[in-house]
């Protein structure tokens, strides 16, 4: 394959029109071409008077020597998997998020039939519980934004970006397309699926895994593990399931499972995480700040990604930015408030939202237990519940009032999207002072990078605590914990940071099991 790089397009063209333009510009004879497709598409908005698309086009030609000026495509090849597993005992996967689903998919694609245990419901039923909580404040602690088929990423923007240079990245994207994702995720520089698409994709993946002999146990919570001679021999839910290998894809909110594993001697450690708020702006204002007002292109809702390092040693940054999205109620424990953000595929909501976070290290929450980060998170979530009125309303505040350390008395041009509702308050009363100070410095700094970020009426809604796991379950180079056959996996175990990396880690853990004789 050859690649045409940095093709600038200043008009709204179809995929075929872009390819035709590339052939004309680079003098490529269509009769020489065996195959062609778009391999990358991004938006270049660095100059507001020249906002344009940048494309890469891959072509397969009869004679590459005829087009020596074009670059040859260098792709990471999937490593070969040697199937050495002979055990007839079925692998067990705890958790049906991206890590668990892609581990299960890898097993069935290689002729093995895993059992997937998920404490929540299938995604079709789970969405009803999420909606019930949003509308009426009735929380199902087993089925919510954090727990259930698809994992926490199902109710997000469905971002598929990653900084990890893995040969499995392309496989994950292709599998998503195979199960119903739009094909454009294969070439967009910032691909996303959206909650509305993810629900269907997750269901399609599950049905395929079942058709190949895999089994799902929903509404089944793993409550204990059996170790014999330092090896995993069984897990317990409503029944005992004997096994010789378990992939722990439990997600970052499985606090009671972390406690059970720690109690039984599974080695783990504290790790860094982040806390903060969801900040909302008018999407139209973010579009103006990012694209300017001159371009006539029909551009998608604009995104941003910002970071700041404070003199106090802490960092402030934005995370999981959801264009045209909404702030969602994401509690998984009673009498707590947790926020997250989500968007549908079209990202056609009025507001943009993003996590606005401060990095937390073990030195910030102290203690010697690996679980102390969990308790730091939970303390903030319980304080947020009280500050919001003890009724699952989230505490919220205008940016101007947060900066001035006073209770907000009214809403301005940005209407908060969080449901069941918000209570105006002073978020300075929620966080430790170093978090407040770092957030304020970050707001002011980001306003110099993205005009209007610290607009007085921008809304901050608390509290965001579940950005990543506060615990890392230790594993060796073979991805095994100190208990033989127990494979910590994905975001909850501390080895991923989003849908893509969790899915990749699920694949890698399954492959290690297949290769182990």
115-142 pLDDT tens trace: 999 999 999 999 999 999 999 999 999 9
Q: Cα–Cα distance between 27 and 13 in angstroms, integer?
A: 19
Judging by beta carbons within 10 Å of its beta carbon (0-12, 13-18, 19+), is residue 77 exposed, middle or buried? exposed
The pLDDT score that the predictor gives to residue 164 is 84
Domains of the chain: 2-72 (3.30.70.2700), 92-269+471-515 (3.50.50.60), 272-464 (no CATH)
In 3D space, the residue among 122, 123, 20, 25 whose CA is nearest the CA of residue 70 turns out to be 25
In 3D space, the residue among 439, 431, 430, 434 whose CA is nearest the CA of residue 399 turns out to be 439
> Is the bond into 420 cis (omega within 30 degrees of 0)?
yes
The pLDDT score that the predictor gives to residue 317 is 98
In 3D space, the residue among 9, 2, 4, 168 whose CA is nearest the CA of residue 77 turns out to be 168
Judging by beta carbons within 10 Å of its beta carbon (0-12, 13-18, 19+), is residue 427 exposed, middle or buried? buried
Q: Cα–Cα distance between 497 and 397 in angstroms, integer?
A: 28
Beta-bridge partner residues of 3: 58, 71
Does the pLDDT value for residue 517 go beyond 90? Answer: no
**Mean pLDDT (whole number) for 487-492:** 97
The set of long-range contacts for 12-16, using a CB threshold of 8 Å and a minimum separation of 24, is 12/297, 12/298
Residues 215/115, Cβ–Cβ less than 8 Å: yes
Lookup: tokens for 150: 């698809």
Place of tokens 């209570």: 423
**Mean pLDDT (whole number) for 360-383:** 95
Does the pLDDT value for residue 251 go beyond 90? Answer: yes
| H/E segment holding residue 329 | strand 326-329
The pLDDT score that the predictor gives to residue 75 is 80
Q: Cα–Cα distance between 338 and 398 in angstroms, integer?
A: 19
Residues 349/280, Cβ–Cβ less than 8 Å: no
DSSP code of residue 494:
T
Does the pLDDT value for residue 483 go beyond 90? Answer: yes
Residue 163: pLDDT band by 50, 70, 90 thresholds? confident
């Amino acid at each position: 394959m050859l690649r045409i790089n940095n093709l600038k397009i200043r008009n709204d063209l179809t995929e075929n029109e872009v390819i035709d333009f590339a052939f004309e510009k680079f003098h490529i004879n269509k009769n020489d071409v065996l195959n062609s497709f778009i391999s990358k598409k991004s938006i270049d908005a660095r100059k507001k008077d020249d906002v344009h698309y940048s494309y890469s086009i891959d072509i397969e030609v009869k004679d590459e020597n005829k087009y020596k000026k074009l670059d040859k495509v260098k792709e990471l090849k999937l490593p070969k998997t040697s199937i050495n597993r002979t055990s007839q005992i079925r692998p067990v996967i705890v958790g049906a998020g991206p890590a668990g689903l892609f581990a299960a998919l890898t097993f069935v694609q290689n002729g093995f039939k895993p059992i997937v245990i998920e404490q929540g419901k299938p995604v079709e039923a789970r969405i009803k519980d999420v909606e019930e909580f949003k509308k009426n404040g009735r929380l199902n602690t087993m089925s919510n934004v954090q727990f259930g088929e698809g994992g926490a990423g199902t109710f997000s923007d469905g971002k598929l970006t990653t900084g990890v240079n893995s040969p499995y990245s392309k496989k994950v994207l292709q599998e998503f397309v195979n199960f119903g994702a739009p094909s454009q995720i294969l070439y967009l520089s910032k691909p996303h699926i959206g909650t509305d698409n993810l629900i269907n994709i997750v269901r399609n993946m599950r049905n395929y895994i079942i058709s190949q002999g895999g089994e799902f146990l929903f509404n089944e919570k793993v409550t204990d593990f059996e170790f014999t001679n330092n090896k995993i021999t069984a897990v317990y839910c409503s029944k005992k399931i004997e096994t010789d290998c378990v992939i722990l894809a439990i997600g970052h909110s499985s606090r009671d499972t972390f406690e059970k594993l720690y109690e039984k001697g599974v080695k783990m450690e504290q790790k860094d995480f982040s806390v903060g708020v969801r900040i909302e702006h008018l999407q139209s204002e973010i579009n103006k700040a990012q694209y300017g007002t001159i371009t006539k292109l029909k551009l998608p809702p604009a995104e941003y990604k910002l970071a700041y390092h404070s003199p106090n040693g802490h960092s402030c940054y934005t995370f999981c930015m959801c264009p045209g999205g909404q702030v969602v109620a994401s509690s998984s424990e009673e009498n707590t408030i947790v926020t997250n953000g989500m968007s549908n595929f079209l990202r056609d909501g009025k507001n943009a939202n993003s996590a606005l976070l401060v990095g937390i290290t073990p030195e910030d929450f102290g203690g010697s237990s690996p679980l102390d980060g969990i308790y730091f998170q939970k303390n903030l979530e319980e304080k947020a519940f009280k500050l919001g009125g003890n009724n699952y309303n989230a505490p919220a505040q205008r940016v101007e009032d947060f900066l001035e350390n006073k209770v907000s008395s009214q809403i301005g041009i940005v209407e908060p999207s969080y449901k069941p509702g918000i209570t105006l308050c002073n978020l300075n009363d929620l966080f430790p002072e170093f978090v407040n100070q770092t957030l304020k410095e970050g707001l002011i700094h980001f306003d110099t990078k993205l005009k209007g970020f610290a607009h007085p009426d921008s809304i901050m809604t608390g509290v965001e605590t579940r950005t990543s796991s506060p615990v890392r379950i230790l594993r060796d180079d073979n991805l095994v914990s100190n208990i033989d056959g127990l494979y910590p996996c994905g975001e909850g175990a501390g080895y991923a940071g989003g849908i893509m990396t969790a899915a990749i880690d699920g694949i890698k853990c399954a492959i290690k099991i297949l290769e182990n004789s």
